[in-house]
Structure 1
Amino acid sequence: MQKILITCEHGGREIPEAHGHHFHAHQELLETHRGWDIGALELYEKFVAAGADASFFSETSRLLVELNRSLHHPNLFSDITRQTAEVEREAILEAHYHPYRQQVEKTIQTFIAQNHSVLHLSVHSFTPQLNGEIRNADIGLLYDPQRKTEKEFSALWKQEFEKLDPDLKVRFNYPYRGTADGFTTYLRKLFPDEQYGGIELEVNQKYPQCNAGIWENVQQIIVQSFRNAVNVRS
């Protein structure tokens, strides 16, 4: 049996009190797409309400520590926290980074030990424009093309999107590569294709930042298309 795992690594822009003094001059930055994935937590909650076997989210700002990056990645810490003492950076990892990632990894291990496979959906959003470039997509489905499970499910999900709203522009491995450094990429190294499939969902932030009714409708389409794809595949 397949288990559905939903996560949201960039759900908020919270800065723990112990590290707040580093951010006094950066309050406006925290509100931008650099501080959090706008709309992602709201969408994550709708996925969970529609049915998930396990779910985890974080509301700690990515400007404190980037939960979707490996320990060796140069952007694990932001320009703000990279300048702090090593002892403080280690404390941040111990309090926020390791606990989050370990609980997700342990949940996958538990499901697999029970002879289940796992479909992991990691919910994100992206800014409509970056460095002067307009992002040409409404939805991005990020996966590893070498992983049969992920490739087939992403194709199926895109078909379900087209049935519900053919005007939504859904693209594969855009605006980022599905094989770039990330939590799903890390987890693929631990679990084989037949046991684990990791899909990163990227939603254009123009929707959570526009008319509430339009955003609500887009969320319903995203969640329903996912559930339809899961049902077809099972």
Structure 2
Amino acid sequence: MQKILITCEHGGREIPEKYGPYFQAHQPLLETHRGWDIGALELYKKLVAAGADASFFSETSRLLVELNRSLHHPNLFSDITRQTAEVEREAILEAHYHPYRKQVENAIQTFISQKHSVLHLSVHSFTPELNGEIRNADIGLLYDPQRNTEKEFCARWKQEFEKLDTGLKVRFNYPYRGTADGFTTHLRKLFPDEKYGGIELEVNQKFPQGDKKNWEKVQQIIMQSFYAAVK
């Protein structure tokens, strides 16, 4: 039996009080796409309510520590926290990074030990424009093309999108590669293809930042198409 796990690594822009002084001069930055994935937590909650078997989210800003990056990644810490002492960075990892990632790993391991497979959906959003480039997509489905479970699921999911709304531009492995460093790529190293499939959903932030009714419609389409593809 397949279990559905849904996560949201960049759901908020909160900074723990003890680290507040580092961010006093950076409050406007926290409100931007660099501080959080705008709209992702709202969508995550709808997806979870519709039928997830396990779910985890974080509302701590990615500018404190980037939960979707490996320990070796140069952007694990932002320009703000990278300047802190090593002992402080280690404390941030122990308090915020390791506990989040470990609880997700444990949930997957528990399901697998119970003879289930796991489909993991990691919910994200992307800024419509980055470094002067307009992103040419509404929805991105990120996966590893070498893993058949992920490849086949995303093909089904795109078909379900098209049944509900042919106007949405859904692209595979865009605006990022599904094999780039991230939490799902880490988890693929721990669990085999037949037991774990990790998909990153990327939604254009023009929707949560735009017309409210249209954003509600897009969320419903995402939710309905996802669970239709699961069946």
Superposition TM-score tier, normalisation by shorter sequence: over 0.9
Aligned partners of 2:195, 2:229: CA distance in 1, in Å?
18
Cα deviation, 1:102-124, whole Å, max 9, x if unaligned, reads 00000000000000000000000
Cα displacement (A) at 1:217: 0.3
Which residue number corresponds to residue 134 of structure 1? 134
Residue aligning to 1:198 = 198
Q: Which runs of 5+ in 1 are unaligned?
A: none
Q: Distance in 2 between matches of 1:214 and 1:183?
A: 30
State the TM-score, normalizing by the size of structure 2.
Answer: 1.00
| Amino acid in structure 1 at the alignment position of 2:114 | Q
**Could you tell me which residue of structure 2 aligns to residue 48 of structure 1?**
48
- Structure 1 counterpart of 2:18, which letter? A
Separation in 1, partners of 2:118, 2:57 = 17
Structure 2 distance, partners of 1:27, 1:215, is: 26
C-alpha distance in 1 between matches for 2:188 and 2:33: 27
Partner of residue 167, structure 2? 167
Residues 1:179 and 2:179 aligned together: yes
Query: Using the alignment, how far apart are the partners of 1:159 and 1:131 within structure 2?
Result: 31
> What is the CA distance between 1:223 and its match in structure 2?
0.4
User: How far, CA to CA, are the matches of 2:86 and 2:21 in structure 1?
Assistant: 17
How many residue pairs end up in the alignment? 231
User: How many Å apart are 1:13 and its aligned residue?
Assistant: 0.1
CA distance in 2 between partners of 1:3 and 1:12 (Å): 26
Q: Percent identity?
A: 86
The separation in 1 between residues aligned to 2:202 and 2:172, in whole angstroms, is 10
Match in the other structure for 1:152 = 152
One-letter amino acid of the counterpart of residue 20, structure 2:
G
Query: Matches of 2:211 and 2:183 in 1, distance apart?
Result: 31
Runs of 4+ in structure 1 off by over 6 angstroms are: none
Q: CA deviation at 1:203?
A: 0.1
Unaligned runs of 5+ residues in structure 2 are none
The CA RMSD measured in Å over matched residues stands at 0.2
Q: Are positions 1:77 and 2:82 aligned together?
A: no
Residue 97 (structure 1) aligns with:
97
CA distance in 2, matches of 1:86, 1:60: 20
Distance in 1, matches of 2:48 and 2:149, equals 22
